[in-house]
Structures are given as structure tokens and as C-alpha cells.
């Protein structure tokens, strides 16, 4: 009699690269952790030394990675500053969508912006605003930030719209709210950033309502 063949143990199929399906997720988490470490190290150095005085080598060394590794995650120092603001647009959309249906679009926008700003360290936000204000390259990036926030706010508000007329209203409210927050933010920094972010949001939106009344 032929000896029976050993039973084959069941195994989960491997990924095309021959690795466990868990590996890509782990690799992605490590990459995200490295990216966040680089961004945090850069922010600390920018605030301590200034943007121009901080080199890419300084950032890489502080994050304990090579210069070459830095360029795997960011194309420039300006990109690191933009990364500091990553997720703000997505967070704003989520906050708008979560607002009660009974709120007007303007009130939903106000409350969503206030909730989003509560997650940010006011001192760090003020320092970053001053950093961007004093650097022309960062000022240009800041313009793009507001454009992204306006689109994100319009997207969130449009999900509350019931018809085409309200779709237009969503875009207009997003434009007004974003512009007001930009002006209000400049005023907040100019005043020494002493006021709580949520307080200056309320003051700014009160001014909008007074104008529209």
C-alpha cells in the first residue's frame, strides 16, 4: 500500500508579492508614522529657528531618517507646512454633515468650523500663521488652503441641500464663511491671538449676520 500523504494544512492565500495580507497594512502604518514624525520635527524646528533657517538635513536628522527618506514623503519644506493642515478639509466636511438637520446652512458652517478649530492648539496655530505671513512661498500655499477649505465646506453643505436652489446657496455660504474666516483669522493673529478660536468664530459669524440682515 502506498503511504498516505500528509494532510495539507489550510492557509490563507498570499498577496501577489508573496507576503501576508497583513504586511501592506503594517507597512502603510509605518510610512504614515514616519511622515507624521517628519512633519512634527519640521514644525518644531520651524517655530524655533524660522522657516528659512531650517534645512531639510535638519528636519531629517531630527526625525532620525536620511535626507533621501525625507524626499520619499515630501518634495520640499513648503510641502511639510501643507501637511500640517492635512485632514482639515475632511474634518470640516464630517463636522458639517454631522450638524442637526434643523440648523441653517450658515449656522451649520459656523458650528462645524468652531468644532474643527477646537482640535487645534491655538498657540501653535498662531505661530504657524505668523510663520506663513512672513514667508512669500508659504503665503501662496496658504491661498490654496483656503480654496480647498471652501470646496470642502461647499461639499459638506451641499449634502444638506434638497434642491438645485439650495445647492447654489451651499456654495455661496461656503464662499462667504471661508472669506470671513480668513479675514477673521488675520484679525485674530493681529490682536495677538488672545481670544479663544471658538470665540472669534462666533464674533466673525455675528458680523456676517449683521451684514446680511
99 with 73, same domain: the answer is no
Mean pLDDT of 171-182: 91
164 with 181, same domain: the answer is yes
207 with 102, same domain: the answer is yes
Beta strands in the chain (DSSP E): none
Predicted confidence at residue 56, as pLDDT, reads: 96
Predicted confidence at residue 85, as pLDDT, reads: 66
**Contact yes or no for 169/186 (Cβ under 8 A):** no
Write down which residue in 47, 80, 113 finishes a domain.
80
Instruction: Give the domain extent around 128.
Output: 85-212
147 with 166, same domain: the answer is yes
140 with 172, same domain: the answer is yes
136 with 45, same domain: the answer is no
Predicted confidence at residue 17, as pLDDT, reads: 45
Predicted confidence at residue 168, as pLDDT, reads: 93
Residue 35 phi/psi, 5-degree rounding, is -60, -45
Based on the number of CB atoms within 10 Å of its own CB, is 165 exposed (0-12), middle (13-18) or buried (19 or more)?
exposed
56 with 154, same domain: the answer is no
Lowest mean pLDDT among 10-24, 84-98, 146-160, 195-209: 10-24
74 with 93, same domain: the answer is no
CATH code (residue 53) = 1.10.10.60
What is the distance between the alpha carbons of residues 34 and 45, in angstroms, rounded to a whole number?
17
Instruction: Provide the domain count of the chain.
Output: 2
46 with 140, same domain: the answer is no
Write down which residue in 65, 80, 95 finishes a domain.
80
Q: Which residues of 167-179 are buried (b: 16+ CB within 10 A; e: fewer)?
A: eebbbebbebbbe
74 with 156, same domain: the answer is no
**Contact yes or no for 73/35 (Cβ under 8 A):** yes
Whether residue 208 lies inside any domain: the answer is: yes
* Three-state secondary structure call for residue 99: coil
Whether residue 11 lies inside any domain: the answer is: no
89 with 176, same domain: the answer is yes
Predicted confidence at residue 87, as pLDDT, reads: 67
Amino acid at each position: 500500500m502506498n503511504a498516505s500523504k500528509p494532510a495539507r494544512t489550510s492557509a490563507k492565500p498570499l498577496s501577489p508579492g508573496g507576503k501576508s495580507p497583513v504586511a501592506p497594512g503594517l507597512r502603510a502604518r509605518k510610512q504614515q508614522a514616519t511622515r507624521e514624525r517628519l512633519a512634527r520635527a519640521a514644525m518644531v524646528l520651524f517655530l524655533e529657528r524660522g522657516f528659512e533657517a531650517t534645512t531639510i538635513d535638519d528636519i531629517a536628522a531630527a526625525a532620525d531618517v536620511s535626507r533621501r527618506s525625507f524626499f520619499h514623503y515630501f518634495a520640499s519644506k513648503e510641502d511639510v507646512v501643507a501637511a500640517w493642515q492635512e485632514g482639515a478639509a475632511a474634518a470640516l466636511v464630517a463636522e458639517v454633515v454631522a450638524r442637526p438637520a434643523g440648523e441653517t446652512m450658515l449656522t451649520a458652517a459656523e458650528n462645524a468650523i468652531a468644532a474643527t478649530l477646537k482640535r487645534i492648539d491655538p498657540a501653535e496655530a498662531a505661530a504657524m500663521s505668523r510663520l506663513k505671513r512672513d514667508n512669500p512661498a508659504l503665503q501662496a500655499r496658504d491661498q490654496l488652503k483656503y480654496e480647498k477649505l471652501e470646496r470642502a465646506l461647499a461639499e459638506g453643505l451641499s449634502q444638506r441641500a434638497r434642491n438645485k436652489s439650495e445647492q447654489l446657496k451651499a456654495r455661496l455660504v461656503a464662499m462667504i464663511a471661508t472669506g470671513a474666516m480668513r479675514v477673521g483669522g488675520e484679525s485674530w493673529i493681529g490682536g495677538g491671538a488672545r481670544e479663544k478660536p471658538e470665540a472669534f468664530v462666533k464674533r466673525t459669524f455675528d458680523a456676517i449676520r449683521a451684514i446680511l440682515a
